[in-house]
Amino acid sequence: QSALTQPASVSGSPGQSITISCTGTSSDVGGYNYVSWYRQHPGKAPKLMIYDVSNRPSGVSNRFSGSKSGNTASLTISGLQAEDEADYYCSSYTSSSPLYVFGTGTKVTVL
């Protein structure tokens, strides 16, 4: 099972919106509505931002939203803030081993 494909970097100015894509296959992203997104600051553990494609855990800002079309999922961050500067990873449940596959990661830079 290969890692999900994400752009290496995305940038935006404060207040703008950005979108990060996550491309997999019909065996993972396309086959299940079990896509999640994580934010990771340097030296810290990942933090869950979106689960089941588009659901936000309690406490996560509504500036974060998720969607999916076919084998590609997307994370949109609106109203970009300095604290959003971090690495972002998507993850999907898969039909075989490993049960979960992660994306290659996207570095978000707030200009």
Partner 1 sequence: QVQLQQSGPGLVKPSQTLSLTCAISGDSVSTNSVAWNWIRQSPSRGLEWLGRTYYRSKWYNDYAVSVQGRITINPDTSKNQFSLQLNSVTPDDTAVYYCAREENSCHEYWGQGTLVTVSS
Q: Which chain residues interact with partner 1 by CB under 8 A?
A: 3, 32, 34, 36, 38, 44-48, 51-52, 57, 89, 91, 93, 97-105
How far, in Å, are 2, 16, 58, 64 from residue 79 at the CA level?
A: 32, 5, 19, 9
User: 10 Å Cβ neighbour count for 58?
Assistant: 4
Q: Which is nearer to partner 1, 2 or 69 (CB)?
A: 2
Q: To the nearest whole angstrom, how small is the minimum distance from the Cβ of residue 48 to partner 1?
A: 5
Q: Looking at beta carbons only, is 12 or 24 nearer to partner 1? A: 24
Tell the smallest beta-carbon distance from residue 80 to partner 1 (Å).
24
Output the smallest distance, CB 19 to partner 1, in A: 20
Ramachandran angles phi, psi of 82, nearest 5°? -55, -35
What is the rounded CA–CA span in Å between residue 31 and residue 63? 26
- Cis amide linkage into residue 98, ω under 30° from 0: yes
Min. distance of Cβ 42 from partner 1 in angstroms?
12
Q: Which is nearer to partner 1, 14 or 57 (CB)?
A: 57
